[in-house]
Structure 1
Amino acid sequence: MANKKIVLLPKARKILVEVGENIKLARLRRKLSAEQVAERANIGRTTLYHIEKGDPGVSIGAYLQVMMVLRLGEDFLMLAKDDELGRKLQDAKLITKERAPKRNK
């Protein structure tokens, strides 16, 4: 199976680059070397480099492993947590049943 090049829209690319920068800053704040984080996450240093650059070709599992090493795993749970648009779309399609008329006694 040939590797496909992932093409992102500019806005998505910008978000991924920012995530990578945030991961790198978190690593530096913890005073951990790239080698330490890569070893603990069971990935290569090159993969960590790609993560910190926001490379879309790196698996989401590798991103999660690095975040777990940095103790940011709970942040990963925040992804798509508040789906405001999805809830609005769902609410718009909800059908309310009409009440039956009251019976006269």
Structure 2
Amino acid sequence: MLGRLIRIGRAERGLTAQDLADRAGISRTTLSNIEKGAPGPEIGTVFEVAALVGVALFGEEERGLQLQNAHLGEKLALLPKAVRRSVKEADDDF
């Protein structure tokens, strides 16, 4: 979801992926992985890129709320439709 918000923020500012990657000091591939939500990029890098495009991370800034409300349907579509059941514990008391 954070990657999606970063992509939306980048598009709203009219930045190309290469422009944002250059500003953040990362490669275009790393930015692509961040926007896809891949697990590889370091969290500090993700937070830095989010801050560059104005994504509210920890506070309820007015701008962040507007962006989140505008794309609520897209966020809900990202949630899983089902949750895995917990693994049944083995009865190993002999």
**TM, length-normalised to structure 2:** 0.58
Aligned-residue CA RMSD in angstroms? 1.2
Residue 57 (structure 2) aligns with? 76
User: Residue 49 of structure 1: CA displacement?
Assistant: 0.1
Alignment partners' CA distance in 2, 1:65 and 1:29:
17
Among candidates 12, 16, 19, match of residue 29 of structure 1 = 12
User: Residue 67 of structure 1: CA displacement?
Assistant: 1.4
Gaps of 5+ in 1: 1-17, 79-105
Residue 80 (structure 2) aligns with? none
User: Residue 62 of structure 1: CA displacement?
Assistant: 1.0
How many equivalent residue pairs? 59
Alignment partners' CA distance in 1, 2:47 and 2:13:
17
Decide which structure has the larger Cα Rg and report it: 1
Matched-pair identity in %? 39
Deviation beyond 6 Å, 4+ runs, structure 1: none
1:60 aligns with 2:47: no
